[in-house]
Every structure is written in C-alpha cells, then in structure tokens.
Amino acid sequence: MAFIPHTPADVEAMLAAIGVPSIEALFDEIPASLRVKSLAGIPDELNEMEIGRLMSERARLDGRPLCFIGAGAYEHHIPAAVWAITTRGEFYSAYTPYQAEASQGTLQLIYEYQTMIASLTGMQVSNASVYDGASAVAEASLMAVRANRKSKSQRILVPTTVHPHYRKVAVAAAGNQGLRFEEIPYSPGEGVIAPTSLARYEGEDITALVIQQPNFFGRLEDVDALTDWAHARGIMVIAVVNPTSLALLKPPGSWGSKGVDIAVGDGQPLGVPMSSGGPYFGFMTTRMEYVRQMPGRIVGRTVDLNGREGFTLTLQAREQHIRRAKATSNICTNQGLLMTAATIYMSLMGAEGLERTAAASHARTRELLTALTRLKGVRPAFQGPVFHESVVLLDRPVAPVLKSLASRGILGGLDLSEYYPELGHALLVCATETKTAADIEKYAAALGEVMQAARAA
C-alpha cells in the first residue's frame, strides 16, 4: 500500500477546485530569493543499504573527547534505565494525549513531571514542557506582558549575564510582537548584574526582569535583592535556572520576599544526552494566579464518574486549538519524549541523587579551576562563588589553544571572544560529576603544554 494517500487524479481535482495550476504555485508567496533550489551535499535519494553504509561510515568519525564545555548543555551521567524505559513503545511512539481514555499512562507521567518540576523550582504550577530553554525565555517574556497588567511598556530587562543564545532567540521570537528587550551590563570584575545598573530604571514602566542563576558565567547573582528590587516597582521576575543546581541553590519560588513570578530553564541536564545540540526540552513554571497566562499543555488530576482517579489535559482554553489567534502561544505542544526521560531520570535519582550530582559537579569545577589557574598565563576572570562553570582568562587568544587541545581529544571550553569581546581572551569551562581527578589533571597538563608551546613559538 502506498503511504501517499492522494493519487495524481486526487491532486488534480483538489487543485482544480481551488483554481491553482500546480502544487508549486501554492508557494508563490515565498519570494524566489528565499527559495532553496537544491541542497548542496544532499543526494536525491539513497536506498536502505546505501544509507546504512553511509551512516556507519559517519559513526566511525565520532570521537569520545573529554568535554569541559558547558554553556547551556551539560554532560551528566544518565543511568542506563532512563532511556531503556523511555524508548519502550508505550512512550516512544505515543502521540499527543488528547484522548484521555487512551492515554492515561502518558498523562500520569506528565502529571508526575509537572509535580517534580514544580517541587524542584519551588513554584506552584508547571506546564508539560516547551521546546527548550531559549524558547522558554521568549514564551516567559510574552507571558509576562500578558500577566503584568499594570505595565504597558512591554519592556523586558535582560542582563548580559543571561545566555547569549537565549537573548537572541527571545528577540527573534518576541521582538516582532512589540516586546523590547533591553540589556543590562554586568559588573566587570564580578561577572554578575551590577545593582547600580538598575538605578537608571527607577520610576520607569518596566514589564519584567530576567535573572539567570547560575548566570552564563557560572556565577551566582544576588537573586534575593534583584527579585525584591523588581517587585517593589511592579516589575515581574522571570528566573532562568539550571535544574541540577536547584538541588543545592535556593529555588526561584523562594527568591526575595515573595519568590519569582515565572521560572524557566533548559531541562537537558535531567537525563537528556548532549546530542550535538538537541533536541532538548524547556521547563516552565509559574504562580497559580498566572496559570491562565502560561502557554502550553497542563495535565490535571481528577476523578471520573465513579470517583476513580484519572488524568486529563486541563485549562485548554489557553491553547490554540480552542482560542485560535487568542491563544497564549502559537506553540501549544510539549517536548514529550525528552520530558519522559527527565521524569524517569528524576525519579531514579531522587532528591538525594540530584543533590549528590550537583555537589560533585560543584566540587569538580572547583578542582578544575584550582588546577587551571595554577598554570602560567591562566587566571580567573571573576571573583566570587560559582556553581559548576566559570570563566578563566588566558594570556593569548583562546581559539588556537582550543584547537590544539582538541587535537589531543580534549574539548577545553567555550571561547567567549565572539560573545563577550570586552573580556579579552576569555574561556568558559565546566566540570560535572562525570569528570575524574585524572581527567582534570589530564586537561591541566595538556593546557600547560599547549600554552608553553605557544609561548615558545
């Protein structure tokens, strides 16, 4: 049986009915300059045998480098059971759980996910996940504009200590909807939001303030003071947090005297492999009073006619299949499979396991920083506490150093010169619980050699 449901005659009939000469003509409104004629390097078709061979050749090119890059995606140990369970057919192939009578397992899992994420962030309600951390920031900004009814400005303050990609995605996704994202500089020696930089917004109409904790540099912001400063001025607070860090740090629901209004983040550290950059998933939580302004799915627990417990999608009137153009978002789906993995990861790790992972990552990072800054030509960029990431400054350009390290099988960190040129030769490094003392020693020794060779050259 053909998988294409329409015969050429069907297609002809449909085109004739709407008075269009060809399928191609349906795409007329896309300017020719934006159309791709052919994809370079992509063959028209390969059969199963050919594609199998190509992919196994490609797979052989994969290395297992020693990775010290974080910057938004973190290498954590994922217990084997996580993906063994996640890839069971019941989870792996299940589509959207609109039919509650056929989806109780999926719905209950989402409900458990929401409960765990709400408990981890200290917030009252979580949705069923969104695409990723970056799009979660964009959605949170749009949500703040809807929820902060006293503010008319649609101005969102975003410190430059927020992940550069998140800032870019927020502008791309929400900038054309009237939102204005205004950057706040960080304190040069400290790598955190400078309280003095907020003074200039005194008395102005601001909709929301975004605070990332730990921030992109791995540093810890003074979240209590920032949250209270914003709330005292009618500004909503959007927290961007790393879920692993919440096992050690104060959850956003407890920041300041009343907690943040919206907390989001990327869920990748919870059982999702780095996979060359995705797919990951984003999480999104808020206070109950704003739940109807939160986009995306929410699963609720209820009882059926006979009083038996059951699970169902709830508050759907916020979603696009009901409210059409008035929906809270044009993305009302969730990142089902990755959220499933995260739920299983969290349930296997438990609160204690997550805390141990966070503590070990913090300890490994401190060891890494001690080992690296002991080297000639390497010094810390900022003073003050970090979680599992930090910035070091080299006495020479970072890119060639990273290239030499890569040839030794070490991914030495992220070169920040593209994102923060003012920092000079800055390198963002990270160590999680997956790094041993020997790994750290190996990295420090290699960096020392590479730097010395560069000086000698």
Q: Does 149 bind other proteins (CB under 8 A)?
A: yes
* H or E segment to which residue 396 belongs: none
Find the binder of other proteins among 6, 323, 374, 376 (CB under 8 A): 323
Compare residues 92 and 98 and give the one whose CB is closer to other proteins: 98
Q: Does 453 bind other proteins (CB under 8 A)?
A: no
Q: Does 288 bind other proteins (CB under 8 A)?
A: no
Q: Does 292 bind other proteins (CB under 8 A)?
A: yes
Regarding beta strands 155-159 and 180-184, do their DSSP bridges make them parallel or antiparallel, or are they unpaired? Answer: parallel
List the one residue out of 133, 145, 144 whose CA is nearest residue 169: 133
Compare residues 58 and 326 and give the one whose CB is closer to other proteins: 326
Point out which span in 214-222, 299-307, 322-330, 382-390 binds other proteins (CB under 8 A).
322-330
Point out which span in 88-96, 156-164, 318-326, 394-402 binds other proteins (CB under 8 A).
318-326
β-pair partners for 390: 429
Compare residues 323 and 376 and give the one whose CB is closer to other proteins: 323
The rounded distance, in Å, linking the Cα atoms of 214 and 211 is: 9
Backbone angles phi, psi at 406, to 5 degrees: -60, -35
The rounded distance, in Å, linking the Cα atoms of 374 and 440 is: 13
Which SS3 state, helix, strand or coil, does residue 10 take? helix
Q: Does 234 bind other proteins (CB under 8 A)?
A: no
Q: Does 322 bind other proteins (CB under 8 A)?
A: yes
Compare residues 15 and 291 and give the one whose CB is closer to other proteins: 291
Find the binder of other proteins among 55, 81, 172, 317 (CB under 8 A): 317
Least Cβ distance, residue 87 to other proteins (angstroms): 37
Compare residues 155 and 318 and give the one whose CB is closer to other proteins: 318
The rounded distance, in Å, linking the Cα atoms of 220 and 239 is: 13
Point out which span in 263-271, 280-288, 319-327, 427-435 binds other proteins (CB under 8 A).
319-327
List the one residue out of 183, 292, 285 whose CA is nearest residue 240: 285
Backbone angles phi, psi at 39, to 5 degrees: -100, 115
Compare residues 46 and 322 and give the one whose CB is closer to other proteins: 322
Instruction: Give the dihedral of Cα atoms 315, 251, 136, 260; nearest 10 deg.
Output: 70
β-pair partners for 363: none
Instruction: Give the dihedral of Cα atoms 305, 308, 309, 310; nearest 10 deg.
Output: -50
Which SS3 state, helix, strand or coil, does residue 26 take? helix
For residue 240, give both structure tokens.
Answer: 């961007």
Which SS3 state, helix, strand or coil, does residue 89 take? helix
Which SS3 state, helix, strand or coil, does residue 408 take? coil
Across the beta sheet with 414-415, the strand order is: 378-380, 389-394, 426-430, 414-415
Point out which span in 83-91, 107-115, 321-329, 380-388 binds other proteins (CB under 8 A).
321-329
Compare residues 20 and 322 and give the one whose CB is closer to other proteins: 322
Find the binder of other proteins among 326, 330, 352, 438 (CB under 8 A): 326
Least Cβ distance, residue 185 to other proteins (angstroms): 34
Least Cβ distance, residue 158 to other proteins (angstroms): 27
Q: Does 301 bind other proteins (CB under 8 A)?
A: no
Contact residues toward other proteins (CB under 8 A) are: 149, 292, 317, 322-323, 326
